[in-house]
Structure 1
């Protein structure tokens, strides 16, 4: 085998393989330079040497030969890379051992069976039997090309038809090993009958299993094929064969909850998403994604299950993170899943969520803070100890110290903010004004929007941007104005007065939204400094959040009187803790 490896290296120029994806410029004979495919850069630092047989990037340190290049860029194992390059070089590799050959033959047959079944399911989707399934996909807004690209299909009630087709080419032992059909008391049957079918592909794009969704009422709504020699749920991510191509361009992969989320995003020309299959996203999944991108973005559904999975993974991944390998988290607003967000808010709104994620460190801190009050020294000590325990999970000692320092600074920041004098004491300490704001949520939103319009430069501040992005706005009219302002971030320099006037003029013309000094308080007035406006608007955000929490407390209290159960009691206790934190930060006395 070592002879074959040497032969491949002798016959294949590294530059010919690299130049298929990277534009190389010749420096001298056998030496080339280009933009690194392993990290974003504007000036080329990726050196390719045919003379020495290796590549090296002086920007990120990536280094290797033709095999490692193919393994890293196409996510192949060494035997796969060797086989591919040997074919290109016209070299016959040594034969596998009898056992290896037999195992590979079985795998090949299982893939053939799954490919045949996938073709059958696709045919059935466009037959009279599949009309209901096709209507379901059309109602979800899926384009014909997406249905075709992802090879969606339908399983009818009839089990024998597929069995008869497979028997024409495969024997019963092979069909049984594929688990496409299972054997029951009354013969073979399809475990995915009467479902929309989602073929599950391996990294090479071959069908290795199926997922099915019921189109009628029943449980389980989603079901995957049993595991086989070619399919392990814990090792497979749906859509990875599509996402890895896009990830090379965007340096980003989005982890969503299920295959319908992946397809819905592809339907909106977002091709870099993947999903786990019947299991929760795990650290092993993330480690496999780190071979493709440095910082995957987790974007699970905005429900209790999604939040629980997010918190669990955030803690579970800590021992494995490094300075250049970590995880981001995108918080969905405007819908319970990516598809609903895009339907309600549009593709660009969803992309803005993905492009402004929460870092792992911030998510961990925020999640733990929600579980603690910071009213007493004992509370603060407990919080600090729990944060330190989180930091100690990180194996990389330098990164562990950085996390520990970050958590300490965040606690200090919270305690310091509690002691800071308020900007406008006369306004903030006035019980009448506070009660007025807390009772008028729409006026509160107007205040926020007016402040940003008069101080558009503060939208570049991430904290302001995220708060404005996440705040609940019930008025469709005001929500459209919020969305318009958010989409301006990064496109215009607002530091001069003409730009401010242009923004106001545009809003007035486009939305018939007239601004006047009576619509907003001291913080919104254009005479205030940007820093005053920023601190003022943060306070108003918190006041608005307090309104929402207090409404939830009222509703939950009424529910507790009816149910008198532990779950509702725990929810009420949690809401009251959040209320106390907000009141403390706002310096509002009971």
Structure 2
């Protein structure tokens, strides 16, 4: 039975080859691919390599795809292997009907027509009438070898050029219309493309399935893709995929750009893993195809507003399908730049450096969501936070969603802390540095029934007296289960904090008075008879360490997590501020581990 090529392509695409092989062979990572001992002959050293779409044994020469593997490994017939894999992939095997046979014949015919058209376009490019098109391509920095590799051509000046040329091969206008090369006009069929530089569009196997054309001279549209046909769907096709697949397998980065010339210019510069969608935003089908080739494709769209919007749409679409082994990176070019212009102006090493330094997706996502967000008011900041949390929730992998939420919200708090640093630093540097006082908090009674509530009130009292600590401690404070009085104060403090222009204790107390909570705050303030001056960095650092020490007695797990996060942050960005944050957490954790109680806390 003959099966349609597009069905077999889809079956192979939906069958992760490494997963299939791993049921029979113990595989280990070998660069971007995997290897193991060949299941088809006895060997002690692995020589059986599994790539994204085929396997090869360098010992016995066994070679094939997913269907071949099932046939060779299980002794199955072709149809038995197809039916088994199709059932696992959720595909229905086409039945051997006359209609299916006719569809397969028609697809083969269309493929022949498109190949003939591609040959004619290439021929025309090298004739005198194609001189302007060839000069244009060379003027864009393309070598003859790249022009040949991508099969670029010229459509001819006037309508009817292709029809006349292919008529000599007995290719009728009806077949050209079906292939998307002609269309019905008022006076009969006319060429779909004319006066255009031609770009063959190929499927993942390298077959021409359509064309795109760029107009030389004035007129619109500047770029034109062929219409949808039985072979061609824009939403499922990536330009340059057939070349990029092999390049990525050999170590090239998979780079997604916006158009034909971006792809070809990057290949000319040595970035042979470049691909592009065809006049449409990235789709789920595109992303699935990209992840079959690389676990972390990189999007590099134009630096204009449209390119930024396309990058954000693509990111939001990709989020739900992210997984620990399936990510994405975004390379954001400056306004006015595109990959083609950048690499021609700055050179390949400059682009390679940008690719190597591309930030992780969480950082880029935060920057993209922050653009245009109104964050100068409490309402705006709350809306921005909700947008960050919604983006993280859209990731279906729950563990990864939690990591993204932590990363996004952590950066939000870090920015909030940083926004107060300049103001508080100015006050701290405004006068002489007084000696750090030795402030001793009253010792709470050791009573099992009241200890937890006492600690909660003590932590709340510290923040009431020293709200300059809120940028660093608000997140941890928000995780505690508090007595009712402290919980009410915390809610009111949070509203004040996100609207405050300066973190001043007197201003906070005025806010609590206006909120009817001054009487609730007074008993807690009495727990702090002495206060450290906010402009004494050493005293405030010790105060924060003691706060965390008490906090750790109530929520040790969070303190341990916080300590580890600060360690990693300092290792990746060894600034004095990050060192100090890590030092404070370590001091607090050691106090808890030594068994010091909150009554031993000294400020």
Corresponding residue of 2:535 = none
Q: How is 1:133-282 mapped onto 2 (pairs within 5 angstroms)? A: 133-167=133-167, 168-250=169-251, 252-282=253-283
Corresponding residue of 1:464 = none
Q: How is 1:23-422 mapped onto 2 (pairs within 5 angstroms)? A: 36=30, 38=32, 46-50=36-40, 71=53, 82=67, 97-167=97-167, 168-250=169-251, 252-333=253-334, 336-420=337-421
| Maintained 8 Å contact 2:180/2:226 | yes
Alpha-carbon distance in structure 2 between the residues aligned to 1:84 and 1:311: 40
Alpha-carbon distance in structure 2 between the residues aligned to 1:45 and 1:289: 22
Q: State the Cα deviation string for residues 259-291 of structure 1 (Å, max 9, x = none).
A: 110011111121100001121122331121101
| Maintained 8 Å contact 1:209/1:231 | yes
Q: State the Cα deviation string for residues 188-222 of structure 1 (Å, max 9, x = none).
A: 21121000001111111111111100110111000
Q: Alignment partner of 2:163: what SS?
A: helix
Q: Which ranges in structure 2 are unaligned for 5 or more consecutive residues?
A: 2-16, 19-23, 57-63, 80-94, 432-572, 580-603
Deviation at 1:384, TM superposition (A): 1.8
Q: 1:48 to 1:83 in 2, by over 3 A?
A: closer
Q: State the Cα deviation string for residues 65-87 of structure 1 (Å, max 9, x = none).
A: 99x9674679xxxx985479989
Alpha-carbon distance in structure 1 between the residues aligned to 2:429 and 2:217: 56
| Maintained 8 Å contact 2:163/2:191 | no
Q: Alignment partner of 2:134: what SS?
A: helix
| Maintained 8 Å contact 2:162/2:191 | no
Deviation at 1:98, TM superposition (A): 3.4
Alpha-carbon distance in structure 2 between the residues aligned to 1:401 and 1:70: 30
Deviation at 1:376, TM superposition (A): 4.6
Alpha-carbon distance in structure 1 between the residues aligned to 2:427 and 2:128: 73
Q: Alignment partner of 1:209: what SS?
A: strand
Deviation at 1:399, TM superposition (A): 1.3
Q: Alignment partner of 1:188: what SS?
A: strand
Q: Which moved more, 1:174-183 or 1:132-141?
A: 174-183
Alpha-carbon distance in structure 2 between the residues aligned to 1:308 and 1:335: 14
Deviation at 1:358, TM superposition (A): 2.8
Alpha-carbon distance in structure 2 between the residues aligned to 1:180 and 1:259: 19
Q: 1:188 to 1:51 in 2, by over 3 A?
A: same
Q: State the Cα deviation string for residues 321-341 of structure 1 (Å, max 9, x = none).
A: 111112110012496111211
| Maintained 8 Å contact 2:114/2:210 | yes
| Maintained 8 Å contact 1:125/1:131 | yes
Q: How is 1:550-589 mapped onto 2 (pairs within 5 angstroms)? A: none
Q: 1:424 to 1:120 in 2, by over 3 A?
A: same
Q: Alignment partner of 1:170: what SS?
A: coil
Q: 1:427 to 1:282 in 2, by over 3 A?
A: farther
Alpha-carbon distance in structure 1 between the residues aligned to 2:234 and 2:213: 14
| Maintained 8 Å contact 2:51/2:249 | no
Alpha-carbon distance in structure 2 between the residues aligned to 1:137 and 1:427: 62
Q: Which ranges in structure 1 are unaligned for 5 or more consecutive residues?
A: 2-16, 19-29, 58-64, 431-528, 536-590
Q: How is 1:473-512 mapped onto 2 (pairs within 5 angstroms)? A: none
Q: 1:122 to 1:45 in 2, by over 3 A?
A: closer
| Maintained 8 Å contact 2:110/2:179 | yes
Deviation at 1:356, TM superposition (A): 1.6
Alpha-carbon distance in structure 1 between the residues aligned to 2:70 and 2:136: 44
| Maintained 8 Å contact 1:130/1:156 | yes
Q: 1:346 to 1:37 in 2, by over 3 A?
A: closer
Q: Alignment partner of 1:415: what SS?
A: helix
Q: Which moved more, 1:141-150 or 1:372-381?
A: 372-381
| Maintained 8 Å contact 1:265/1:339 | yes
Q: 1:139 to 1:249 in 2, by over 3 A?
A: same
Q: 1:127 to 1:190 in 2, by over 3 A?
A: same
Alpha-carbon distance in structure 2 between the residues aligned to 1:328 and 1:283: 16
Deviation at 1:119, TM superposition (A): 0.7
Q: 1:375 to 1:181 in 2, by over 3 A?
A: closer
Q: 1:222 to 1:172 in 2, by over 3 A?
A: closer
| Maintained 8 Å contact 1:35/1:46 | no
Larger C-alpha radius of gyration, 1 or 2?
Answer: 2
| Maintained 8 Å contact 2:253/2:271 | no
TM-score (norm 1): 0.59
Deviation at 1:368, TM superposition (A): 2.3
Q: How is 1:526-541 mapped onto 2 (pairs within 5 angstroms)? A: 531=575
Deviation at 1:353, TM superposition (A): 1.4
Q: 1:218 to 1:121 in 2, by over 3 A?
A: same
Alpha-carbon distance in structure 2 between the residues aligned to 1:176 and 1:34: 50
| Maintained 8 Å contact 1:32/1:48 | no
Deviation at 1:183, TM superposition (A): 2.4
Q: CA RMSD in A?
A: 4.0
Deviation at 1:166, TM superposition (A): 2.5
Deviation at 1:248, TM superposition (A): 0.8
Aligned pair count?
Answer: 393
Q: 1:368 to 1:73 in 2, by over 3 A?
A: farther
| Maintained 8 Å contact 1:34/1:47 | no
Q: 1:428 to 1:207 in 2, by over 3 A?
A: farther
TM-score (norm 2): 0.58
Alpha-carbon distance in structure 2 between the residues aligned to 1:277 and 1:83: 32
Corresponding residue of 1:476 = none
